[in-house]
Amino acid sequence: MASAELAVDNKSDQTPLARERQHAQDEREGRLRFVVVKNDGLDRSLISLIDMKSIYSKQLPKMGKEYIVRLVLDRSHTSLACVFEGEIVGGVTYRRHATQAFAEIAFCAVSATHQVRGYGTRLMNQLKEHCKREGIHFLLTYADNHAIGYFRKQGFQKQVTMKRERWLGYIKDYDGGTLMECAIDTQVDYLNIRFVAEEQRRAIAERMEAGGAQQQEAEYAGYDPAEGGVPAGLQGTSWRESALHCSMQGKPVPLADCLQAVLAEVATHADAWPFQTAVSTSLAPDYYEVIKDPVDLASVRARLTPRAHLHTTTRSSSSSPTCCACAKTAACTTATTTSTTTARSGWRRSSGRRSER
């Protein structure tokens, strides 16, 4: 089970972007290196693995030392060491499942004297770049409660998107741990992602500032959706009016006509008689205490009246309230009768809204 402990260092006052720039410069000058280490029997490799084992043992005291040694020296595991000025200051140990194209992180830690300097983030980004070269598409780890926050900042999430049969049986289950997943995007440069985001932020801020200086004195009238068209001030932009295009029996018809057809189909159904009108409080005195959002076909019919959503209705003591959420009412009615209506009237609805992807 992976764990990560990042202690608070009051001496570190650099921003994350400044730390990333410093790391990039240290790497170019050779002071900071990231080395892949395996148990290949060489003395140099064994010394590096023992150094990382010592860091894991100190930073992850709840993990047994024998267990840490066994995994770090296991030939099926690979370690990525973070070396600063010739000294190993952190590392991450993982096991690659080549046939399944994912890797399981076992340990991830930075020495106490080098924490809160961004080495943990840089180490994880280097691991992602290494995974891209090895054909690894996902990273999985069982994180303890202290490590969940760290892994979430590194792009891990609790929802595993891989198919269960792809990883089940390949990784070990841990009691008290949270399984987290990180998808590796081959199109992302993880070592420069913060720099790219900063450039985009600066470009957007400059464009907003320039546009605001030109239009800060402009005043525009309100926008009425019933009139359509492009709202004042949005001419020349990418804004487009959202629209629903409906068809009935293969012919395009207005949305209001489609909804009226759905309502008529539901109202004439043999089982619709209990829902024609509101429930009377004389028959069920506590009905509206139990049912917080009541709805009936008469209320739906009233809400389908043009511009009826612009008016507010109140509850009377002798009758039921009209549903205040007209959109919700129409959606509920449509959703519950889609299959029946489609079969009997051929009604079909398609959305003309632009995709946000």
Catalytically active residues are: 104
* Residue type at 310 in one-letter notation: L
Q: How is residue 190 written in tokens?
A: 């993880």
Separation between Cα atoms, residue 7 and residue 32, nearest integer Å: 21
Instruction: Give CA separation, 145 vs 51, 56, 122, in Å.
Output: 25, 17, 22
Count of CA atoms in the C-beta half-sphere (13 A) of 49: 23
Closest among 96, 82, 22 to 52, alpha carbons compared = 82
β-pairing, 347-351 with 244-248?
antiparallel
Structural contact between residues 272 and 297, judged by C-beta atoms closer than 8 angstroms: yes
* Residue type at 335 in one-letter notation: A
* Residue type at 194 in one-letter notation: R
Q: How is residue 2 written in tokens?
A: 């992976």
Helix axes 119-134, 16-28, angle to 10 degrees: 60
Contacts with 308 (C-beta within 8 Å, 6 or more apart), sequence order: 302, 326
Instruction: Give CA separation, 102 vs 94, 105, 183, in Å.
Output: 10, 10, 9
Separation between Cα atoms, residue 68 and residue 65, nearest integer Å: 5
What is the DSSP secondary-structure string of 179-213?
EEEEEPPTT--TTTHHHHHHHHHHHHHHHHHHHHH
Sequence-separated contacts (24+) of 43-47 with Cβ below 8 Å: 46/73
